[in-house]
């Protein structure tokens, strides 16, 4: 077989691998409607967990096929032709950007990193000059001038199949119209002065579905989200109208689990969402809709562009240095980079693999809006000139086992990346009394939200939490994370003798997973003023019975409601029984 035919065969094998991946990904995503309609929340959680592994499974399968065909050896001319043919295949492909990323993954699994350049892989996308997929492939347009606003809204909700019937759609539409009038200037427009665009497919996550759209007038665009919930009888109701872009951004936040949303043209869907939430990056939006590998690609491209356009150096991150990770940042870029240390400090009794497993566990788990999403990269090359001398000294003294130097670049074998946040302990040093009160209240709520998602954060020190730009408390240090159901919450034994009272060490036995909630507040928040605020709002956090009750709820299959939008925007009803 000639090289041209072999190159064509290689390109087709990779594209077939991608098509298999995307078909399986979309099938489990499409069935979110059935799970929502049936109220099968546990099946939804399971599907969200397993879907994350689909990509790596298909990449491994395709890599094995190509490895057998190539013998693991790279013929440079052959692969230059393979890339050229593959690029031609993507000219009118509806998921072209995802297929590029899949190609990169297979190639990088096959060959040495010295070939990881734009001649052999798609470091830069080849699609920037292509005709973009029309946004109209993803949304429907409605014209209230034809039927009036009430009937138009009813038609919008009726056109979306949620797999269940409404409880009282007429009342829902009344509440929705009222909220539009109260929340946006669009409510002052006449029916002939606007158009409503709504994404064809709802966004499913946990116990809610979300309708996403925009009202278009001659002068403005008004984005909106409508959460749809199920009541205890299994019938649907509209729970709220969200028009505040900050509230919308929190629903799509990096600390939340990925949505299930069926899409044939993800690039068009992401561009529509970007128009509604312009502060969100393209990488964040791909991640929000479950395409986390494409999110990694978009993040890495953006990082390379930022390096080329800036000249500041990477430095150690602000805050107390960790015992497990060395953390650094680029001041002009809103992310932190974390490398596992060669030796752990503070008597940490765990292996490197345990740390990796816990970070990956959080990736797969429901993050409940309280745990930052993480990118994991292998063999990342950073120009030595962009690393400050102090940071280079710290890296070589703490993570030397993860470093190599090649051609003026520092190559890090394994790197975790998270959104940079203000460390909570630093914020509390200069915040106003009012800000401190709100933040400490939210810190306690963050712990409760993680509990509801079956997460025990382990190390609850303030330094392991950060503040987002919306002043939400988010956890970001996962080396001691465990499932809540694996822990043993005990009341602190009371001393019965004088010797027990003055003993410098615990006189009672303590197993590895034993936790004494009475000590948690003192340990995590040693400052009396801050601890008093925490216990003012969350006194149950130091009650072992409260933690055991949550374990019991989880064991019985109870999924606690955690709403990603303020209670104040929810519609007033006699009964509201389920969540998003």
pLDDT in tens, 100-129: 999 999 999 999 888 898 999 999 998 876
Element (H, E) at 383: strand 374-383
The token duo for 212 is 């996403």
Residues 6+ apart with CB under 8 A from 555: 485
Q: What pLDDT is stored for residue 187 in this prediction?
A: 67
Q: Is 322 annotated as a binding residue?
A: yes
Residue 464: the pLDDT is 95
Q: Do the annotations mark residue 536 as ligand-binding?
A: no
CA 10 vs CA 72, 80, 114, 222, 450: distances in Å: 13, 11, 20, 47, 45
Residue 208 marked ligand-binding: no
Do the Cβ atoms of 388 and 314 come closer than 8 Å?
A: yes
575 pLDDT band, cuts 50/70/90, is very low
Distances (CA, A) of 566 to 330, 372, 443: 33, 20, 16
Do strands 315-316 and 335-340 pair parallel, antiparallel, or not at all (unpaired)?
unpaired
Tell me what pLDDT residue 435 has: 96
C-alpha to C-alpha distance for 418 and 376, rounded to whole angstroms: 9
Structure tokens at 546: 């409260």
318 among the known binding-site residues?
yes
Whether residue 232 contacts residue 578, with contact meaning beta carbons closer than 8 Å, is answered with yes
Q: What is the pLDDT of residue 1?
A: 64
Distance in angstroms (rounded) separating the CA atoms of residues 578 and 74? 56
- The answer to the question of whether 319 is labelled as a binding residue is yes
Residue 57: CB atoms within 10 A of its CB come to 13
Confirm whether 373 is a catalytic residue.
yes
Phi then psi dihedrals of residue 118, to 5 deg: -70, -10
495-519 mean pLDDT: 83
Catalytic residue among 172, 197, 239, 373: 373
Which of 225-229, 275-279, 496-500, 527-531 is predicted least confidently?
496-500
The model carries a pTM of 0.93
Cross-strand partners of 336: 329, 418
pLDDT value of position 152:
94
Q: What percent of the chain has pLDDT over 90?
A: 79
What does the block give as tokens for 185?
């200037």
């Amino acid at each position: 077989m000639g090289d041209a035919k072999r190159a064509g065969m290689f390109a087709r094998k990779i594209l077939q691998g991608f098509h298999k991946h995307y078909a399986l990904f979309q099938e489990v995503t499409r069935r979110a409607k059935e799970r929502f309609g049936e109220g099968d929340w546990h099946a939804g959680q399971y599907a969200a967990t397993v879907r994350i592994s689909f990509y790596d499974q298909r990449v491994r399968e395709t890599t094995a096929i190509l490895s057998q065909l190539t013998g693991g050896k790279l013929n440079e001319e052959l692969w230059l032709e393979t890339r050229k043919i593959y690029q031609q295949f993507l000219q009118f492909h509806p998921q072209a950007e995802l297929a590029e990323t899949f190609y990169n993954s297979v190639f990088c699994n096959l060959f040495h990193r010295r070939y990881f350049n734009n001649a052999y892989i798609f470091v830069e996308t080849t699609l920037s000059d292509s005709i973009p997929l029309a946004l109209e492939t993803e949304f429907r347009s409605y014209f209230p001038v034809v039927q009036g606003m009430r009937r138009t809204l009813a038609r919008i909700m009726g056109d979306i199949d949620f797999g269940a019937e409404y409880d009282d759609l007429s009342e829902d539409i009344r509440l929705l119209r009222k909220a539009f009038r109260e929340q946006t200037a669009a409510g002052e427009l006449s029916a002939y002065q606007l158009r409503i665009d709504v994404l064809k497919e709802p966004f499913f996550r946990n116990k809610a579905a979300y309708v996403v759209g925009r009202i278009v007038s001659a002068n403005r665009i008004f984005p909106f989200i409508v959460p749809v919930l199920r009541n205890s009888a299994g019938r649907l109701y509209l729970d709220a109208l969200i028009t505040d872009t900050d509230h919308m951004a929190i629903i799509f936040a990096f600390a939340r689990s990925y949505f299930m949303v069926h899409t044939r043209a993800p690039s068009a869907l992401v561009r529509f969402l970007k128009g509604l939430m312009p502060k969100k990056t393209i990488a964040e939006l791909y991640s929000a809709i479950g395409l986390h590998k494409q999110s990694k690609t978009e993040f890495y491209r953006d990082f390379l562009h930022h390096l080329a356009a800036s000249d500041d150096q990477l430095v150690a991150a602000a805050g107390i240095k960790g015992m497990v990770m060395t953390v650094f940042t680029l001041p002009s870029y809103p992310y932190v980079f974390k490398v596992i240390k060669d030796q752990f400090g503070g008597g940490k009794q765990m292996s490197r693999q345990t740390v990796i497993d816990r970070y990956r566990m959080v990736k797969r788990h429901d993050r409940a809006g309280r745990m930052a999403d993480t990118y994991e990269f292998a063999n990342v090359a950073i120009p030595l000139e962009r690393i400050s001398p102090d940071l280079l000294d710290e890296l070589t003294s703490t993570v030397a086992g993860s470093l190599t130097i090649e051609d003026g670049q520092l190559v890090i074998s394994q790197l975790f990346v998270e959104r940079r946040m203000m460390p909570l302990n630093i914020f509390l040093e200069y915040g106003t009394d009012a800000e401190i009160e709100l933040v400490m209240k939210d810190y306690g709520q963050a712990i409760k939200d993680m509990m509801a998602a079956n997460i025990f954060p382990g190390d609850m020190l303030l330094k392991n939490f950060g503040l987002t730009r919306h002043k939400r408390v988010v956890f970001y240090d996962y080396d001691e994370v465990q499932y809540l159901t694996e822990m043993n919450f005990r009341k602190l034994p009371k001393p019965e003798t004088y010797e027990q009272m003055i003993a410098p060490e615990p006189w009672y036995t303590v197993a590895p997973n034993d936790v004494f909630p009475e000590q948690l507040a003192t340990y995590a928040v040693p400052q009396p003023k801050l601890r008093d605020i925490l216990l003012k709002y969350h006194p149950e956090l130091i009650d072992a019975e409260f933690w055991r009750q949550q374990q019991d709820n989880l064991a019985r299959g109870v999924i606690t409601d955690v709403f990603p939008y303020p209670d104040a925007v929810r519609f007033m009803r006699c009964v509201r029984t389920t969540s998003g």
